[in-house]
Structure 1
């Protein structure tokens, strides 16, 4: 799953794709059907990359990417974000069994389920992440440089350059002061 460039913006619902940056801020495009483009001010807007988000765990924090992949491979039906809190809690026990039940609130679960429903139909959801071993092996094979043939000698009828290179003249840069 490749979530590079997908961000959550504080104070705005939904997810956005980072399109670019200009002097006013970040240029973002919404991932919903409307494809609204906005410019988020650099100094006042907080962006959170989905790649970097973690969920509180009992021992170690869980990466959001792993939780979303568990949701996609889940045998049970993914509940709606507007489902009852008990339904969401039982679903999260299945897809993220080591999450911290005291620190992960129902609102967090609703947000993750909403994000899953936004992302599940996008092609980037089924892509591999940029740092996987398979892609690193492919890139290594692409970097193999083929040997180039040696340059052929100049043909005998080629003209020599008209000017010959002359050494540069030395210039004395010290100033003479009157004594």
Structure 2
């Protein structure tokens, strides 16, 4: 899944696609049906790239993209407005190592609502360019090259020392 350029803006609902950057911030477009445009000022708004977000885990943090991959293969994803027990049971299915004390019901609701926004978009099925394996380069044949003649550069003339006047 390719989540490059998808951000969450603090204080704004939904997800946004970064379209351009100017000297004061970013020009964003909402991923919902309205396609609202927004200029997020870097000095006042906090942006979080979805590809960089992690969830608290019991041992290590869990990448949000890994949770989305598990949610993709889950049999049924609950609605974001479901009760906390239903959400917690679902999260144990898709992220069994999440920290129950640090991951709140509001966090789970937000992640599930993001999933429902993203699952219909084509970028959700694209391969992440940062995670894609590099294509194997064909093995080049070794050809014995003939030695090249190297022309010597002309030597610079030595400067004469100025003559001393007697």
2:68 is the counterpart of 1:68: yes
Taking a change above 3 Å as real, the CA distance of residues 131 and 25 of structure 1, as seen in their structure-2 partners, is closer
Alignment of 1:71-150 (within 5 A): 71-75=71-75, 77-134=76-133, 136-137=134-135
Question: 3-state SS of the aligned residue for 1:111?
Answer: helix
Deviation at 1:133, TM superposition (A): 4.2
Q: Show the counterpart of 2:57.
A: 57
Deviation at 1:80, TM superposition (A): 0.5
TM-score by length of 1: 0.74
Q: CA RMSD in A?
A: 1.4
Q: Show the counterpart of 1:37.
A: 37
**Worse-matched range after superposition: 21-30 or 1-10:** 21-30
Q: Show the counterpart of 2:161.
A: none
TM-score by length of 2: 0.80
Question: 3-state SS of the aligned residue for 2:51?
Answer: coil
Deviation at 1:68, TM superposition (A): 0.6
Aligned residues: 139
Deviation at 1:24, TM superposition (A): 3.5
Unaligned residue ranges in structure 2 (runs of 5+): 141-166
Question: 3-state SS of the aligned residue for 2:52?
Answer: coil
